[in-house]
Amino acid sequence: MSTSSLACRKRRRRLTRRVRGLLAAGLVLVPGLLAPGIHVARAATLCGGGGSLGAVSKVMVIWEENRPSADVLRNDNAPYIDHTLIPQCGLATAFTSRASGGHSLSNYVEELTAQRLEGLGVPGTPAGGQRNPFCSDGCVYDGDWTIGTPDALPGGSEGVSRAYFPTPGTSYTNLAHQIGSWKAYGESMPHNCDLANAGSTTANDAYVPHHIPELYFTDLNGGASFSGTSCASGSALSTRAVPLGSTTNNNGVYTSGNLNDDVVEGTLPTFSTVTPNLCDDMHSTCTYKADCGHGLTSSPTCVGDEWLKGIVPMITSGPDYQSGRLAILIVWDEGEGITSGTPGWPYTCAAFADVCVPAIVLSQHTAPGTVSDHPYDDWSIVRTVDDVLGKPELGNAGQSNSLASAFNL
């Protein structure tokens, strides 16, 4: 063997060992032949696929609950979020809730309407007929609601479950109604459009309908008032508010059910929301335990982190995401409350750290490690979805920043 041939063989062996080392470090191979059987390696990431991928034409929002940024970011109980989602995708560091101050459930309504709800009173106080002094132009008035108290269970009556719903015929609408192609996936939901609480924290399947924002709107219920435990027969809600899976999997690994089927078949709707149960959304402490690297724990943050570790790869493995069509927003509904009547609304992360929540953005067009410190809020979700899908901005969405530009959606 010639000296040049021997040197070439040695270089190839060294290159082979290097590529194997990259693979062991969690890297993947991409086309680009260097030598027979050897390809260039790059970091395996959830986001930033690049290439000739199609534009984003679908948006999914995954809701988490009741954790300010300080309870999630750089937390030993959130290794998947901190070591995979954030470095591989995008993070908005100044996202907060406009409602805040104890009105957790009105946040869900605002996240689909970009409307400040008139009649709620000062954030953190009981609702009533008084005008909200923090509410200016474009507010929704009492007359636009069948009943007007926040923090409510869909399907109930004033003073019992304190529900509130827009009445048919009002001049504004919500994202689902505006877009037309939508679906709401509820983990542990017993049947389509179930309006009653079900399951329990001890059984790790605690389902509550009031964390599914679409269930607040009568225009999605065929214009009918809500009654009983099911939506109106033949309404959009009766077929599009559906159980996430046929069973509850607290580790987030779903291989069957409505969400899995739509992901695998590439038939996710244009707009969708995914709502975990109370055990998996970081809201409540349940009996289920997860291991975040330091032994089993029932920490809500760890359990929610494990759930995301199971559900997110399932969704991103589907053709909608792989083709670049789907963008995913993971948003916490609220952080911690503010003392009743505290001035300074709308509250910002800069002024009130406890209302600052994580907002994570995933897409094939988002460069890994993207961080934006621009202020965002509930209305930003509406503006982002409308901007990405080329729709007119609903409500007051134009007053809030869109995530689309910063995260290249």
Which of the four pLDDT bands, split at 50, 70 and 90, describes residue 9?
very low
Distance from chain centroid for Cα 192 = 20
Q: What is the pLDDT of residues 168-201, one digit of tens each?
A: 334 457 889 889 899 999 999 999 998 888 999 9
Lowest mean pLDDT among 121-130, 257-266, 288-297: 121-130
| Measured distance CA(260)–CA(253) in Å, rounded | 10
- What pLDDT digit, counting tens, does each position of 319-368 carry? 999 999 999 999 998 887 666 556 776 778 888 888 899 999 999 999 99
Return d(Cα 274, Cα 310) in angstroms, integer: 14
Distance CA 137, CA 283 (A): 33
Helix (H, G, I), strand (E, B) or coil at 387: helix
The pair of structure tokens assigned to 309 is 């570790």
Q: Where are the alpha helices (DSSP H) in 203-349?
A: 236-240, 258-265, 300-316, 319-322
pLDDT given at position 98: 65
pLDDT at 231: 84
Evaluate if residue 408 carries a pLDDT over 60. Answer: yes
Mean pLDDT of 121-149: 38
Q: Is 222 exposed, middle or buried (0-12, 13-18, 19+ CB in 10 A)?
A: middle
C-beta separation of 284 from 277 below 8 A: no
Would you state the torsion angle of the CA atoms of residues 283, 285, 291, 295, taken in this order, to the nearest 10 degrees? 140
Tens of pLDDT, residues 75-114: 999 999 999 999 999 999 999 876 544 456 667 878 888 8
Residue ranges in 293-344 assigned as alpha helix (H): 300-316, 319-322
Other CB atoms within 10 A of residue 335 CB: 26
370 backbone dihedrals φ, ψ, rounded to 5°: -65, 130
Closest C-alpha among 257, 209, 279 to residue 237:
209
Report which of 107, 179, 167 is spatially closest to residue 141, judged by C-alpha positions.
167
What 3-state DSSP class applies to 228?
coil
In whole angstroms, how far apart are CA 252 and each of 134, 268, 305, 319?
Answer: 40, 18, 9, 19
Rounded CA separation 366/86 (Å): 11
Token output for 23? 């693979």
100: left (phi over 0), alpha (psi -120 to 50) or beta: left
pLDDT for 44: 58
Higher pLDDT, 294 or 147: 294
Contacting residues for 406 by C-beta, under 8 A, at least 6 apart: 90, 92, 370, 372, 374
Q: State both tokens at 304.
A: 């929610």
pLDDT of the residue at 160: 28
* DSSP summary character for residue 403: H
The residues pairing with 35 across neighbouring beta strands, listed in sequence order, are 38
Count of C-beta atoms within a 10 Å radius of residue 393: 17
Residues of the chain with pLDDT > 70, as a percent, come to 69
Q: Return the pLDDT at 214.
A: 87
pLDDT over 60 at 3, yes or no: no
pLDDT top residue among 144 and 348: 348
With 90 as the cut, is the pLDDT of residue 125 above it? no
pLDDT at position 206: 95
pLDDT at 338: 67
Arithmetic mean of pLDDT, 380-409: 93
Q: What percent of the chain has pLDDT over 90?
A: 51
Average pLDDT score over the chain: 77
How many Å apart are CA 56 and CA 324, to the nearest integer? 6
For residue range 200-250, what is the model confidence (pLDDT) as tens digits?
Answer: 999 999 998 878 888 877 778 887 766 678 888 999 999 999 999 999 999
| Helix pair angle (378-389, 104-113), 10° resolution | 20
